[in-house]
């Protein structure tokens, strides 16, 4: 029984880590696995603290790598957190919360709905953060509307990323559960 617990938890974590580091592959703006990772964690981790902690920790580690290796020329020194990270991370936490309520049962309709809702949550929260903490838009209702309007082209990448990576994560785990029935024992994870 203990081996089943470790196997399921290990496979869930491994899948999340692999998908998180797919961020290194060149991609369109805002195309990211991070919303899908939050949904996946919400659906499959039995202990809900794991659904919050594992995706956020994985996101942070992948951010550390990206900011200090790939984008190092943009940062004058080692970067633990980029400016405004809390808006993005906050949106991921809200995505997990939404996923916990949505995924009482996992099915294709809920995965697609979750990916769409995750995209909306990220769009609303992250662009509110751009407006709130930046200087690009005036701190007025017109400035907020202008910020959201300017961000519309980036919504496409977010939605495509959430749909694709949700399909990969949920589909791969469903396939793995058919091959290894012990992975279906959610109460053990």
pLDDT digits (tens, 9 = 90+) for 128-163: 999 999 889 999 999 999 999 999 999 999 999 999
**Hey, what are 176's tokens?**
């793995």
Closest CA to 36 of 150, 137, 142, 114: 114
Q: Residue 66: which residues within 8 A CB-CB, separation 6 or more?
A: 23, 24
| Overall pTM surpassing 0.75 (yes/no) | yes
- Cα(17)–Cα(153) distance, rounded to whole angstroms? 28
* Domain region containing 120: 2-188
Closest CA to 46 of 91, 94, 100, 93: 100
CA dihedral 91, 54, 51, 33 (to 10 degrees): 50
* pLDDT tens digits along 89-117: 999 999 999 999 999 999 999 999 999 99
- Cα(145)–Cα(126) distance, rounded to whole angstroms? 14
How many structural domains comprise the chain? 1
Q: What are the phi and psi torsion angles at 45 (to 5°)? A: -80, 130
Q: What is the CATH number of the domain that holds 84?
A: 1.10.1760
Contact assessment for residue 15 and residue 171, using Cβ atoms and an 8 Å cutoff:
no
């Amino acid at each position: 029984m203990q081996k089943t617990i470790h196997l399921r938890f290990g496979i869930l974590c491994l899948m999340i880590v692999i998908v998180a580091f797919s961020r290194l592959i060149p991609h369109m703006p805002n195309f990211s696995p991070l919303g899908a990772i939050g949904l996946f964690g919400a659906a499959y981790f039995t202990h809900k603290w794991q659904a919050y902690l594992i995706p956020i920790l994985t996101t942070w580690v992948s951010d550390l790598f990206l900011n200090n290796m790939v984008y190092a020329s943009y940062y004058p020194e080692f970067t633990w957190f980029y400016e405004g990270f809390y808006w993005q991370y906050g949106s991921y936490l809200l995505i997990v919360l939404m996923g916990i309520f949505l995924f009482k049962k996992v099915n294709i309709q809920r995965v697609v709905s979750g990916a769409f809702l995750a995209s909306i949550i990220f769009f609303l929260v992250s662009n509110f953060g751009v407006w709130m903490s930046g200087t690009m838009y005036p701190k007025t209702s017109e400035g907020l509307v202008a910020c959201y309007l300017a961000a519309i082209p980036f919504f496409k990448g977010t939605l495509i990323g959430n749909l694709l990576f949700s399909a990969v994560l949920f589909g791969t785990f469903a396939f793995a559960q058919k091959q290894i029935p012990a992975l279906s024992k959610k109460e053990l994870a």
